[in-house]
Amino acid sequence: MDVHEYQAKELLASAGVAVPRGAIAFSADQAVYAATELGGWHWAVKAQIHAGARGKAGGIKLCKTYHEVREAAAGMLGKRLVTHQTGPEGKPVQRVYVEVADPFEKEFYLGFVLDRKLERVRVIASAEGGMEIEEIASKHPEKLIQVIVEPAVGLQQFQARQIAFKLGLSSRQVQRAVTSIMGAYRAFRDHDATMLEINPLVLTKDDRILALDAKMSFDDNALFRRNNVANMHDPSQDDPREAQAAEHNLNYVGLEGDIGCVVNGAGLAMATMDVIKYAGGEPANFLDVGGGASPERTATAFRLVLSDKNVKVVLVNIFAGINRCDWIAEGVVHAVKEVDLKLPLVVRLAGTNVEEGRRILKESGISVIMAESLTEAAEKAVEAAKAAA
């Protein structure tokens, strides 16, 4: 689960990380009021969406007057902000964050990520703040500072000092940087985060260290014990299809292809997408109906896939173990008849009750392209998608 910048800063501030003074606003009038309450002479008005690269897309405006604050907020609220991280559909802007724009001298990058391969937290820092980490790694790999945190003891003060000195900070500035680094680690650890990115972390003219921007992602499976984080969820930022899938405990991720996939098992779903790509096609989604899918659950998954207007063909790939092919077949027949499917349907069944499942499909009266193997199913789906183009 992702949160907005201002919410991430709330968590950072509670852990002792210094952040600029700011306030959330849901209207242009509220934005002006926030600026007057915050004081100062310059403000940053920031669109709050779950995506980066907002500045390049016009989602961050620096303002010198209340009139400019009003115009900036009015120009963002109610619109959809499109960045290279949102895709062409963009994200709706329902709130803006008004923040005092303090002048600063240097920008740094500071990130914490869960390294699943090492089963450790990896700290990444760089003196090239303001750039995306991928760009830093590509253009200035020598400037990446990386520290692996031993989970038994956590991030140590000496490691934070090493990072601070490598960033080129003076002795007087290092201690404040250490406070920010250690606080950021506590916020990451204590809230079951999987990613924390402060970009940029800035050094002001009076030697303060401030988190000027912040992004955090959290482990969905730990939200039951992190009510304060769970309450920060903003449904407006979710893909409507993914939100609908979550309501039915389905694992769904929307993609940009035209072959809709209904598969049981996460591994098989990944393999199905790979084989579709190998056959020259593009999957429209990742969807795992789970191991105990009933006909009703399968029908729900089917309708979810068909809600994507880009889908030109549906591929059902079931390897039944815990599940049963006859259940899946009943769900497919029910869904096809309910939505009056006009698209080509490719079905590959294998495993428990496979013959009964195939019989149900053949006797249902619906048009089905049967396949014996995954490779054959993918090839037939790609052919059908190309024919429908």
Q: Which residues are catalytic?
A: 109, 197
Q: Is 213 annotated as a binding residue?
A: yes
Q: Is 29 annotated as a binding residue?
A: no
User: Does 249 carry a binding-site annotation?
Assistant: no
Rounded distance between C-alpha atoms, residue 75 and residue 353, angstroms: 58
Is 105 flagged in the annotation as binding? no
User: Does 99 show up as a binding residue in the annotation?
Assistant: yes
Find out whether 2 is annotated in a ligand binding site: no
Q: Binding residue per annotation — 102?
A: yes
Q: Which residues are annotated as a binding site?
A: 46, 99, 102, 107, 199, 213, 264
Q: Which residues are annotated as a binding site for Mg(2+)?
A: 199, 213
Q: Which residues are annotated as a binding site for ATP?
A: 46, 99, 102, 107
Q: Which residues are annotated as a binding site for substrate?
A: 264
